[in-house]
Amino acid sequence: MDQLMHVLIVDDEPYNREELKHLLCSFSKVQSIKEAESGEEAIMKTIQHHPDVIFLDVEMPKVSGMEVAKAIQELKKPPLVVFATAYPQFAVEAFRYDAVDYLLKPYDEEQLEETMQRLEKKLGIAEQENQGKTLGKLAVEVEGDIHYLELQDILYMSRIEKRTKLVTKQGEFDTKMPLKELENRLLTYGFFRIHKSFLVNLEHIQRLTPWFNGAYHLQLEGSKDTLSVSRNYVKALRTKLEI
């Protein structure tokens, strides 16, 4: 199996297809994205291109998403299905077709990240990539150029709207890569989630100060920024840091 994911987006609304395509492009394990604007076209492109995953709208003219899901289940090797719709009432029926997930519009980025993790696990992508692979530098694209960052030079990462900011000893860089994906890649390299919006390099932590309601403030060597540590992460963080 390929170590990257081939996706088919099925939706009769061009704007919805474009939005989901934009979000999926930020995931490094997505290699190709094709589109279909009807149920009939979805079945045809599934047979022609053999996608790994179909993001499937429910309410479409003529052939509905449920009918598409039923049809492709008859294939020798059916793709994984994620329903992507504005209608929550079809969720129970959707899982009768072994749906991996049921996403509601407008899309929530954190939920989409969790969906992608489930898909990667089912496709065996994450496991294949981790076997015998050593991550030396982190590649970040900036204005068309690829910058390779030394992991020890990265102080922390923060998620701001649809971008992730990487703060390093040399300066700041932006990437489309979601914070959750960075966390998965860097967990074994001394990086730790302290908040839904912050991932820090444990090597550079200088001070941890109690704040209120069980939360903490954190300061890093080489940075004037004060980061918030959510109380949900405090215990695990202290366990990591203390002997």
What share of residues in the chain are helix, strand, coil (percent, to 5)?
Answer: 35, 35, 30
pLDDT at 126: 57
Q: Tell me the C-alpha to C-alpha distance, in Å, between residue 186 and each of 30, 130, 151, 152, 169.
A: 19, 11, 9, 11, 18
Give pLDDT < 50 ranges for the chain. 1-2, 127-134
pLDDT at 3: 65
pLDDT at 220: 94
pLDDT at 93: 83
Q: How far apart are CA 241 and CA 72, in angstroms?
A: 50
Residue 164: φ, ψ to 5°: -115, 125
Pairing of strands 163-168, 172-175: antiparallel
CATH no. of 5-130? 3.40.50.2300
pLDDT at 238: 87
Q: Give the domain ranges of the chain.
A: 5-130, 137-241
pLDDT at 2: 47
CATH no. of 137-241? 2.40.50.1020
